[in-house]
Structure 1
Amino acid sequence: MVEYWPNKQGIQLNNEVARLFLTTKQKFRHNLVNTTNTQLYTDILDNSSRHKLFSTILVQLELLILDIIELDLSTNHIKLLNYKILCDLNQKSLNSFIKMLRFKNNPIKFIDQPEYFFSRRLLSEHRLILEHLLIYLTFGSSYVTCQSFIFNNQKTPKKHVAILLENLIIHVSNSVIFMLFESLKSLSNILDFLIHHQLCNSIFTSTRSLALFRNSLIWQNITYFYIIQPRIIYNGRYQIWLINSNGIQTKYIHISRLNDLPKLSTLKLLSIFLIEIQDLLLPKIENFLLILSRILLYILIHILGNSAIFIIRIITSSLYGIKK
């Protein structure tokens, strides 16, 4: 039986939010290893450090919701300030995590610079990462735009809200480690920091392994921004991250992304055009190659068959001549 999220403010919504946060926190006790083929910045951390970071982010999100209620912000305010709210959540989560580690250094500020593809992705997807979730948690499902998801907003499954919460936590944790990387700058500083504070995954204990990991993430961000993201937008889907007993996994959910299409750059539109060409020509090319392979196979069998018959006749004639 599907259970639905409350559609308006009240005691029922407050209880569901409290229950959701408790359930999510309990999930942090699971194995938090990344089981996907997509790398995360948090892969550099061991399981215990991921647990601490996720818990820190969840606490900061609770405080954020209380601030929204106290300031009496409307859904329009949330939509207008959403990116700033997300940046603030990233910054406060980072500060809290650093404070927990007792790291004494210059304050690390949120990186919002267009030369970083990671920052560009955050800017382009901030509404999907945070906006819908904040509205669910503070106002109820009826305040979410009807056309956003494939189901009626009055009947939003509780599982859907839980997935959005887990997705936010993983995105923010990724941002926190990204900011740490960029603030520490050199590989030696990053490695010293990770080892000194006992955060490091045993796989990344050398400068070489760390360099490979960092370069792989940079290339992954570029590939996602120019190739994968346009395809996902064109297909009306969104990639989310979630936590289960096996670890961190990813899946796609259907969501209206019509507003994102006009915002795509020329290069991204070219990527979509190539997808269209691929969808149009690939089946025809496959069909042509299939027919061609059958023809070639028929010709080959025919030639081999005739050759075999010809050779047998020659051998037979030779044997007949020898007998004479």
Structure 2
Amino acid sequence: MVNYWPDKQGIYLNHEVAYLFAHIRQKFHRNLSNNTQDYLYIDILNNSVKHKLFSIVLVELEILVLDLVELNISLQGIQILKDKIFYDLIQKVVARFLIEFTINSSSIILIESKRYAYLKVILLEYKWLLENLLIYLIFGSMHIDNYIFAFDQKNTPIKHVEILLENVMIQISNLAIFMILENLKSLSNIIIFLKTNKLCNRSYISIRSLASFRNNLFYQNLLYLYVVQPKYIYSNRYKVWLMGPEGLVTRYIYAYRLEDFIQLSYLQLIIITLIELQDFIIPKCEKFLLVLVKLIFYIFINILGNGIMVLVRIIILGIDSLPR
């Protein structure tokens, strides 16, 4: 039986929100290692530190929801203040994480520059990352545009909201670690920071492994920004991160992404054009090659068959012409 998310504000919605946060918190006892082929900045942390970071993000999300409810903010208010809400959330997560591990945070400055491919990806996907989740948690499903997801407003599965919350928690955690690492800049500073504060995953305790890790992230983010993300937007897909039984996993949900499409850069639009050409040309080429292969086989079989028949006749004639 599918249980649906409340469609309006009230006691029922408050109860479901409280239960959802408690349910997500129970999953922290699972293995939190990355079980995908993709890299995350939080991969650099050991499991216990990752657990604390997720807890911090979840608490800050709870506080954010309570604050917005107490302020009696409207839906339009959330849409207007979305950048500030997002920025403040990241700032609080970073600050609490550093306090949790008694780390001096005076040198940590939040990065706002859009020169980072990873930040461009996050900023473009903000609507799917946080805005829709806040609407579900504060106002109920009736305030979500009916065409955005693959189901009706009144029939929004609770599992769907759970997926969005898990995804936000993991991605906000990832963004917080990205901010901290980029502030440290050099590999030596990062190594010292991780080892001194006992944060590091054993896989990244050397400068070589850390350099490889950062390079992989750089190229992954670049590829995602200019190739993968435009493809997802064009296909109305959104990748979410979840806590699976064996670790962190990715899944895909349907999301109507016309607004994201409009915001794509010129280069990203070129990629989409190439994808469209690929969708048009490749099936035609496949059909042409299939016909060509069949034709070649037909000719080959006929030539071979006729050749064998001629050879047999020659042999028979040769045998008949032998003196008896």
TM range (shorter): over 0.9
Q: Deviations over 1:216-243 (max 9, x none)?
A: 1111111111111111111112111111
The verdict on how the C-alpha distance between 1:316 and 1:103 changes in structure 2, with shifts beyond 3 A counting, is: farther
Does residue 264 (structure 1) correspond to residue 264 (structure 2)? The answer is yes
Q: Distance in 2 between matches of 1:127 and 1:82?
A: 9
Q: CA deviation at 1:79?
A: 0.9
* Residue identity in the other structure for 1:65: V
- Confirm or deny: 8 A CA contact 1:91 1:109 kept in the other structure: no
Q: CA deviation at 1:181?
A: 1.3
- Confirm or deny: 8 A CA contact 1:236 1:255 kept in the other structure: yes
* Residue identity in the other structure for 2:165: L
* Residue identity in the other structure for 1:26: Q
The verdict on how the C-alpha distance between 1:160 and 1:295 changes in structure 2, with shifts beyond 3 A counting, is: same
- Confirm or deny: 8 A CA contact 2:30 2:247 kept in the other structure: yes
Q: CA deviation at 1:146?
A: 2.1
Q: Deviations over 1:145-179 (max 9, x none)?
A: 22222212122111111100001001101101111
Moved more, 199-208 or 74-83: 199-208
Q: Superposition RMSD on alpha carbons, in Å? A: 2.1
Q: Distance in 2 between matches of 1:90 and 1:105?
A: 14
Q: Distance in 1 between matches of 2:283 and 2:269?
A: 22
Q: Distance in 1 between matches of 2:109 and 2:320?
A: 96
* Residue identity in the other structure for 1:145: D
- Equivalent residue, structure 2, for 1:196: 196
Q: What SS does the corresponding residue of 1:60 show, helix, strand or coil?
A: helix
Q: Distance in 1 between matches of 2:258 and 2:32?
A: 34
* Residue identity in the other structure for 1:6: P
- Equivalent residue, structure 1, for 2:112: 112
* Residue identity in the other structure for 1:74: S
Does residue 23 (structure 1) correspond to residue 13 (structure 2)? The answer is no
Q: What SS does the corresponding residue of 1:218 show, helix, strand or coil?
A: helix
Q: CA deviation at 1:270?
A: 1.2
Q: CA deviation at 1:85?
A: 0.9
- Confirm or deny: 8 A CA contact 1:9 1:139 kept in the other structure: yes
- Equivalent residue, structure 2, for 1:284: 284
The verdict on how the C-alpha distance between 1:307 and 1:209 changes in structure 2, with shifts beyond 3 A counting, is: farther
* Residue identity in the other structure for 2:221: N
- Equivalent residue, structure 1, for 2:101: 101
The verdict on how the C-alpha distance between 1:150 and 1:313 changes in structure 2, with shifts beyond 3 A counting, is: same
| Percent pairwise identity | 48
Moved more, 36-45 or 178-187: 36-45
Q: Distance in 2 between matches of 1:217 and 1:63?
A: 31
* TM-score (structure 2 length as normaliser): 0.92
Q: Distance in 2 between matches of 1:219 and 1:265?
A: 19
- Confirm or deny: 8 A CA contact 1:234 1:272 kept in the other structure: yes
Unaligned runs of 5+ in 1: none
- Equivalent residue, structure 1, for 2:253: 253
- Confirm or deny: 8 A CA contact 1:83 1:127 kept in the other structure: no
Listed as ranges, the matches of 1:4-23 within 5 Å are 4-23=4-23
Q: CA deviation at 1:65?
A: 1.3
Q: CA deviation at 1:116?
A: 0.6
Q: What SS does the corresponding residue of 1:6 show, helix, strand or coil?
A: coil
- Confirm or deny: 8 A CA contact 2:13 2:140 kept in the other structure: yes
Q: Distance in 1 between matches of 2:50 and 2:294?
A: 55
Q: Deviations over 1:297-317 (max 9, x none)?
A: 334444555666677788889
- Equivalent residue, structure 1, for 2:221: 221
- Equivalent residue, structure 1, for 2:35: 35
Q: CA deviation at 1:295?
A: 2.4
Q: Distance in 1 between matches of 2:323 and 2:172?
A: 91
* TM-score (structure 1 length as normaliser): 0.92
- Equivalent residue, structure 1, for 2:61: 61
- Equivalent residue, structure 1, for 2:160: 160
The verdict on how the C-alpha distance between 1:201 and 1:300 changes in structure 2, with shifts beyond 3 A counting, is: farther
Unaligned runs of 5+ in 2: none
Q: What SS does the corresponding residue of 2:29 show, helix, strand or coil?
A: coil
Q: CA deviation at 1:104?
A: 2.2
Q: Deviations over 1:99-142 (max 9, x none)?
A: 11111253412211111111111211111100111111112112
Does residue 233 (structure 1) correspond to residue 196 (structure 2)? The answer is no
* Residue identity in the other structure for 2:52: K
Q: Distance in 1 between matches of 2:317 and 2:208?
A: 72
